[in-house]
Amino acid sequence: MGSGANRSFDPIYLEKWPEVKGPLQKLQAILERESLAPSGSRLILCVSGGLDSIALLHLFHQLSRRYHWQLDVLHFHHGIRIESDEEADFVRELAHRLVLEFHLRETKAFQVGTSSFQEKARDWRRTEALKLREEIGADFIATAHHADDQLETWLLKWLRGAHLSGLQGMSSADPPFIRPLLDLSKDELKNFLQEEGFEWREDASNQDSKYLRNRVRNELLPLLRELSRDGIESRIRDLDAQSRLLEKDLELRYENWSTGAETDSGLLISGIESEPEFLKREILVRFITAKTGIALSYQQLEKIIALINDSQSQWSFHLEGNWIILRKEGKLFCEKKMDC
């Protein structure tokens, strides 16, 4: 990897530059507050050609001399829309005009409308970005998630039944991935591009209501903004902050409990029965997820808690993927039933 990850911002050098304003100022603030992209870093910018990522590209390009960054542009071609070729050409030409290295990753493995398409495509993009980072020795991979995406992510977790300690949006850093635009709204990014005279491409699939995220963006969020008199952002931020505090508290409690706890041969029920209810649930979630890879819904968790509290005899609880939670001999076990 490059050495940028070990460097810090150089305030002496930065003072030589005039003060920036607007979106550039907000971006600089989060970069320095979170130490997301230290001076001299080599950064991969994921650019689709849409409004968000084009704003990311121009914002970083305008700050690149100030921070001595080396920027690479990465574009993903999913091979599923007729506009994909034109979008790839648009991003390639823009990168060349800005004298930046352009990288294209293509696939024909996806078919739009198939089960879990968005999740599979996201995993593919993440894998390809990590491969490129290894190839070129980059320090960080920047994505264009912004404040509106943050709201959508929180609401999607709420709709899908996240636990209180996990009811949070995205973090600004998930090394080597960074999300430097989380303090900026989509309207701010759009205004920046329009004021600077920069073009972008519209992805028609963002209006397709068959995707839940699109319905949250286009239907639910506008309604919530209206009903809350534009206060939904601050209310979700408050809940997000409380969830993070709860998560930290549970993390400390779990670490204290797990010291000396042995779960390789099953989870001893008597070892959790006297623990506070929140911690008991955290222990169960971590144990089951570690064994099965399944993220339990709250309803599933509560059913398992009820079985533990109501029955001393042997029982089983079925999860997806042929996994079974078994109680026997005073312990919980996770076993996978083999297909016949």
pLDDT confidence of residue 84: 92
**Cβ neighbourhood burial of 181 (10 Å; 0-12, 13-18, 19+):** buried
Read off the pLDDT of residues 31-79 as tens digits, 9 standing for 90 and up.
Answer: 999 999 999 999 999 999 999 999 999 999 999 999 999 999 999 999 8
pLDDT confidence of residue 11: 46
Kindly state the helix (H) or strand (E) to which residue 42 belongs, with its residue range: strand 42-46
pLDDT confidence of residue 289: 95
pLDDT confidence of residue 339: 61
pLDDT confidence of residue 113: 62
Read off φ and ψ for residue 7, nearest 5 degrees.
-100, 160
pLDDT confidence of residue 14: 47
pLDDT confidence of residue 13: 46
pLDDT confidence of residue 112: 66
**Can you tell me the distance from the alpha carbon of 205 to that of 319, in angstroms, rounded to the nearest whole number?**
33
With a cut of 50, which residues of the chain have pLDDT below it? 3, 5, 11-15, 340
Read off the pLDDT of residues 260-290 as tens digits, 9 standing for 90 and up.
Answer: 888 888 999 999 999 999 999 999 999 999 9
For residue 211, the SS3 value is coil
DSSP string spanning 296-324? --HHHHHHHHHHHHH--S-EEEE-GGGEE
pLDDT confidence of residue 114: 59
Respond yes or no on whether the N-terminal peptide bond of residue 23 is cis (omega within 30° of 0).
no
Q: Which domains does the chain have, with CATH numbers?
A: 4-146+168-208 (3.40.50.620), 262-336 (3.30.465)
